[in-house]
A and B are shown apart, each in its own frame.
Chain A
């Protein structure tokens, strides 16, 4: 069984977001980038577990980005990926990204494609579903557990008040969230092996994105906390009405 894991590069969670060009672009200068945690901690590690348990034979990684994303690809290889593919393009548009990945994965014989439930930078959460549609295979989102049995994936999803268990025939695309696997730290053997594992760079035919980012806006600064005495419910109601405007 061949697994393709989609990974993307995102700013480290502790990054201080600074905008530039009149708030139309993110200033990436001095920013530390990491593998999107949902892609790494859950999708990639589950794929590696399936390989270690003998169910999968190959774990490939794919990302869309320029050469500057290669450090995160090599980290994926250091964790245990067998080979990696970099689609040499810039894309912040999920449809464009899904098209690039589909262009590579179509006919490449992957039985399972895993990705994170969303990337923590743009939080679209739609690439996986679009990819499945483009490849004309099934999609299950927000998996909290994935088991493979006889050509099917048994996927547990958390739903309001309980769990839902779905069975999907492979090939399929599954997006992963917490619970699917546990984060790992790359070991020295993996780090050293990463250098020698294949990293294919593919130049895609240019696509026109269907969305564009017009401007960015930082969330408003946190307002100060007002403490209201428990004896003073009238004041609380008044503040909720006039300041917080909850009703």
Chain B
């Protein structure tokens, strides 16, 4: 448990039982010149082409969204992660994450962009055969063709494999005839290519098909009226014996569910990047407004209540961002290892990403909830103007909400976080048992009062994080032991465990980032980042304690429960810090810079 491993050896989910060295994580302060230039292109594209047109986009002005997508395509932004041989730029996962982040503040445009470059393009890129890739990918990478993804049906959302859409082979054996109804299809109104999931005959599992807009039997419903992302095209797509040439079956028969799940893993990570970008935009607007708006003769940014909000917005954003890029780097390195071992490029990428599916789910939940907090406080900082549809917070507030629903609801992602962790332990891929037993032993031994190790800048936080791991291993271990096969049905306990894991992963990612940053720039240049870390970890300890207690009270009993509750208290104990002063320091920096600046 104390062995610091090189990141190359770190597998998905291992953050629970291993320590990571700060120098091995990627932090966004390390972007190279080319990546910064790509980021600037994205920022300028949003500022010049998207932001001035947000109202027109939301009114779904005919042709505007495809036009913006074409412009993004001309700049090369639709082909960032597509290999050069297919007309893209072959950039690594982190760079494509940076693009997702920088375009994340583009409201409905961001949704169209992510749907096209993610679920619209990647199934064909990663699972298509050579002919399929040659035919479709260059046009998707340039934006000449727009992509969409048809998985959800009116009666199958979270339970995606239960879809009713069916495919049968035509009498001449040349076509699959797809019949069914797909719902909430992003980009449907202007998409040229749809990746459609349907079961062939009475198959147990889905298959995936590449369907062109012009194929006979495909029709679109009208646009859905939505709470937010109003400019994003969302329609039902109907398939009525839709004639799909047999060569358009993607991958193998019944491989569709696997495709859907793996593509969603990428989508979840990217959603994390996008929402972090949106958070930064909203914070910049919030700080700007707080500096301008005067009440009682002073700008409202002078008041502690507002400063607290600004600081908390920044704390959650910075923390989420730390997790996003740490996991992106891990995925990339896992992919590289697979490539070195001779696995082909597309498979290596998918496997690398699959390995970090737990982290992807964690990031999806944390970042989408961070954005919801940030926009909510954004509205509050704007006060009456926050509630006006004339000010930017109205759109930000409504558009944020979908992020907790799509790419798997946050509840599904919480359950997946725990489920995947336990499954890996059962399969022997992740040794949770040994460390959990060690913690159980620690419970009955004399507590460690500390004080022996050398006090460094991060000593306390590292100790807290090591203890968070013990708290989770203790509660999760007991839950598995007590509830056994019933655990999967005790969703409240799963939610508690997921919350604990999320807080651990984000706390650790944040601590590692700040440690690396201090090593690069010195303590003096990182004062506010240190404050961000201290406040976040302080609050995380309380959240972990609360979730753990709730879980233990659900299934544990008598002396054992008392012992574990005491252990939980010990493992989530932190020294008191003046979080008010920390938040004031963070807010002061934001206010002086008049923008998100971390």
A interface vs B, CB < 8 Å? 14, 16, 70-71, 74-75, 78, 183, 185-189, 191-192, 194-195
Of B40-48, B250-258, B275-283, B575-583, which binds chain A?
B40-48
Establish whether residues A74 and B76, one from each chain, have CB atoms under 8 Å apart when the complex forms. Answer: no
List 13 A-B residue pairs with CB atoms under 8 Å apart, sorted by A's residue number: A16-B592, A71-B36, A74-B37, A185-B48, A186-B41, A187-B41, A187-B75, A188-B38, A188-B41, A188-B76, A188-B89, A189-B76, A195-B34
Question: Given known contacts A185-B75, A186-B41, is B34 in contact with A191 (CB within 8 Å)?
Answer: yes
B473 / chain A contacts, CB cutoff of 8 Å: none
Establish whether residues A188 and B77, one from each chain, have CB atoms under 8 Å apart when the complex forms. Answer: yes
Question: Of all chain A residues, which has the CB nearest B38?
Answer: A191
Establish whether residues B45 and A185, one from each chain, have CB atoms under 8 Å apart when the complex forms. Answer: yes
Q: Tell me the complex Cα distance, A191–B45, Å.
A: 15
The reply on B593 being an interface residue by CB < 8 A is yes
Question: Of all chain A residues, which has the CB nearest B88?
Answer: A188
Question: Of all chain A residues, which has the CB nearest B47?
Answer: A185
Write the nearest CB–CB distance from B507 to chain A, whole angstroms: 27
B44 / chain A contacts, CB cutoff of 8 Å: 185
Q: Tell me the complex Cα distance, A191–B37, Å.
A: 7
A78 / chain B contacts, CB cutoff of 8 Å: 37
Q: Tell me the complex Cα distance, A95–B375, Å.
A: 51
CB < 8 Å neighbour of B37 from A14, A16, A75, A189: A75
Q: Tell me the complex Cα distance, A187–B89, Å.
A: 11
The reply on B448 being an interface residue by CB < 8 A is no
B40 / chain A contacts, CB cutoff of 8 Å: 75, 186
Write the nearest CB–CB distance from A158 to chain B, whole angstroms: 24
* Chain B residues numbered 57-87 whose CB sits less than 8 Å from any CB in chain A: 74-77, 79-80
Question: Of all chain A residues, which has the CB nearest B84?
Answer: A192
The reply on B453 being an interface residue by CB < 8 A is no
CB < 8 Å neighbour of A186 from B37, B48, B595: B37
* Chain B residues numbered 132-175 whose CB sits less than 8 Å from any CB in chain A: none
What total count of A-B pairs have CB within 8 Å?
46
Write the nearest CB–CB distance from B592 to chain A, whole angstroms: 7
Establish whether residues B37 and A187, one from each chain, have CB atoms under 8 Å apart when the complex forms. Answer: no
Establish whether residues A187 and B76, one from each chain, have CB atoms under 8 Å apart when the complex forms. Answer: yes
Question: Of all chain A residues, which has the CB nearest B71?
Answer: A185
- B4-44 CB contact bits vs A (8 Å, 1 = yes)? 00000000000000000000000000000110111011001
Question: Given known contacts A16-B592, A16-B593, is B75 in contact with A188 (CB within 8 Å)?
Answer: yes
B89 / chain A contacts, CB cutoff of 8 Å: 188-189, 192
Q: How many residues belonging to B are interface residues under a CB distance threshold of 8 Å?
A: 21
Q: Tell me the complex Cα distance, A191–B79, Å.
A: 14
Q: Tell me the complex Cα distance, A183–B40, Å.
A: 14
Write the nearest CB–CB distance from A209 to chain B, whole angstroms: 30
Question: Given known contacts A71-B33, A78-B37, A195-B34, is B48 in contact with A188 (CB within 8 Å)?
Answer: no
B33 / chain A contacts, CB cutoff of 8 Å: 70-71, 74
CB < 8 Å neighbour of A185 from B36, B41, B592, B594: B41
Q: Tell me the complex Cα distance, A62–B593, Å.
A: 32
CB < 8 Å neighbour of A188 from B36, B80, B594: B80
B593 / chain A contacts, CB cutoff of 8 Å: 16
Q: Tell me the complex Cα distance, A75–B38, Å.
A: 10
B74 / chain A contacts, CB cutoff of 8 Å: 187
Write the nearest CB–CB distance from B339 to chain A, whole angstroms: 21
Contacts beyond the supplied A185-B41, A187-B41, A187-B75: 18 A-B pairs with Cβ under 8 Å:
A16-B592, A16-B593, A71-B33, A71-B37, A75-B37, A75-B40, A183-B48, A185-B44, A185-B45, A185-B48, A185-B75, A186-B40, A186-B41, A188-B41, A188-B77, A191-B41, A192-B34, A194-B37
Q: Tell me the complex Cα distance, A71–B40, Å.
A: 12
- B568-598 CB contact bits vs A (8 Å, 1 = yes)? 0000000000000000000000001111000
A188 / chain B contacts, CB cutoff of 8 Å: 38, 41, 75-77, 79-80, 89
A195 / chain B contacts, CB cutoff of 8 Å: 34
Q: Which of A187, A188, A189 lies at the interface centre, i.e. has the most chain B CB atoms within 10 A of its CB?
A: A188
B38 / chain A contacts, CB cutoff of 8 Å: 188, 191
B592 / chain A contacts, CB cutoff of 8 Å: 16
Question: Of all chain B residues, which has the CB nearest A71?
Answer: B33
* Chain B residues numbered 479-529 whose CB sits less than 8 Å from any CB in chain A: none
Q: Tell me the complex Cα distance, A183–B486, Å.
A: 62
Q: Tell me the complex Cα distance, A184–B594, Å.
A: 27
Question: Of all chain B residues, which has the CB nearest A78?
Answer: B37
B37 / chain A contacts, CB cutoff of 8 Å: 71, 74-75, 78, 186, 191, 194
Q: Tell me the complex Cα distance, A186–B592, Å.
A: 31
Q: Tell me the complex Cα distance, A16–B591, Å.
A: 12
A191 / chain B contacts, CB cutoff of 8 Å: 34, 37-38, 41, 76
B34 / chain A contacts, CB cutoff of 8 Å: 191-192, 194-195
Q: Which of B40, B77, B593 lies at the interface centre, i.e. has the most chain A CB atoms within 10 A of its CB?
A: B40
Write the nearest CB–CB distance from A103 to chain B, whole angstroms: 28
A71 / chain B contacts, CB cutoff of 8 Å: 33, 36-37
Q: Tell me the complex Cα distance, A195–B89, Å.
A: 14
A187 / chain B contacts, CB cutoff of 8 Å: 41, 74-76
A192 / chain B contacts, CB cutoff of 8 Å: 34, 89
Q: Tell me the complex Cα distance, A165–B540, Å.
A: 68
Write the nearest CB–CB distance from A112 to chain B, whole angstroms: 27
Q: Tell me the complex Cα distance, A183–B45, Å.
A: 11
B45 / chain A contacts, CB cutoff of 8 Å: 185
10 residue pairs, one from A and one from B, having the closest CB atoms: A188-B76, A187-B75, A185-B44, A188-B89, A187-B76, A191-B37, A71-B33, A185-B41, A186-B41, A185-B45
Q: Tell me the complex Cα distance, A71–B32, Å.
A: 10
A185 / chain B contacts, CB cutoff of 8 Å: 41, 44-45, 48, 75
Q: Tell me the complex Cα distance, A217–B570, Å.
A: 57
Write the nearest CB–CB distance from B96 to chain A, whole angstroms: 12
Write the nearest CB–CB distance from A92 to chain B, whole angstroms: 24
Write the nearest CB–CB distance from B302 to chain A, whole angstroms: 16
Question: Of all chain A residues, which has the CB nearest B33?
Answer: A71
B595 / chain A contacts, CB cutoff of 8 Å: 14
Write the nearest CB–CB distance from B85 to chain A, whole angstroms: 15
Write the nearest CB–CB distance from A18 to chain B, whole angstroms: 10
Write the nearest CB–CB distance from B466 to chain A, whole angstroms: 34
Write the nearest CB–CB distance from B77 to chain A, whole angstroms: 7
Q: Tell me the complex Cα distance, A74–B34, Å.
A: 9
Q: Tell me the complex Cα distance, A78–B36, Å.
A: 12
Q: Tell me the complex Cα distance, A194–B593, Å.
A: 31
A74 / chain B contacts, CB cutoff of 8 Å: 33, 37
Write the nearest CB–CB distance from B66 to chain A, whole angstroms: 19
Q: Which of A70, A191, A192 lies at the interface centre, i.e. has the most chain B CB atoms within 10 A of its CB?
A: A191
Question: Of all chain A residues, which has the CB nearest B48?
Answer: A185
Question: Of all chain A residues, which has the CB nearest B44?
Answer: A185
Write the nearest CB–CB distance from A181 to chain B, whole angstroms: 15
B594 / chain A contacts, CB cutoff of 8 Å: 16
